[in-house]
Structure 1
Amino acid sequence: MTMTEWNIGAPLPPVAGGGPTRSKAELNRQVRRYATERRRDIRRRRIRPSIDRQARARESSDIIALARIWIPYGGVPAELIFERFGIVEHDFLERLWKAAETTGCASDLVRELSSVYPRHTKPDD
């Protein structure tokens, strides 16, 4: 059937399995519902990056704060790192130094952190 032969106002053929045909009004409702959901998704995606940035900033400050608290004790125990952040020690160290770099930590704090937390580590195999 060519596009010129297509009858837009005609009822749809039955759905596979012998289901009922859909009326034009039902299709219009579905299209409106889809369009509404699509607009909501687009709005959420526009808002999401700022939420992600805020969450990353909060995590960065939490990592630095925890690392600072544990300096006198030789560093944060691996179990606590996993419990608090759900990551292994190697990933914690990477995030710690990235956070220290991006947040512009004071040089005395960076020196203290360096005395306990190595900057470059290889994951345990």
Structure 2
Amino acid sequence: MNHWLVKSEPFKYSWDKFLSDGRTFWDGVRNYQARNNLRAMAEGDLVLWYHSNEGKEVVGIAKVVKTAYQDPTTEDPNWVVVDLSPVETLKKTVTLETIKADPFLKDIGLVRQGRLSVMSVKLEEFDRILELGS
């Protein structure tokens, strides 16, 4: 199993909306590195849900329920989506400030490649964020 982090601007698609919907496809990715990360996702992989711009915090855990397929919002075959479903809301959000201040997370992609919308996360980083969010 691999672990990931996806970013969503809460005014566009929030964690609460995701919980209400119960499932969504992750679309709008137009960066090749992020697209490659979507292609690498497997069913059952766990995903940290990060609110970007507003809040700047990890708010929950999702899982991949369908692997990469053609993005239905474009006819361009270069772009794909995956389906996600919610697993759990964190007891307390884990802010970017908290992540940056934690020496254990100093190399996490969220800090190193802040603009990337879909990124892999090491199991140890994933577990640390869950610990901070409990």
TM-score tier, shorter chain, comes to under 0.3
Greater RCO, 1 or 2 (C-alpha within 8 Å, sep 6+) = 2
- Mark the structure with the bigger radius of gyration: 1
Richer in helix (by share): 1
Q: Compute the TM-score of the two structures, normalised by the length of structure 1.
A: 0.23
Q: Compute the TM-score of the two structures, normalised by the length of structure 2.
A: 0.22
Richer in strand (by share): 2
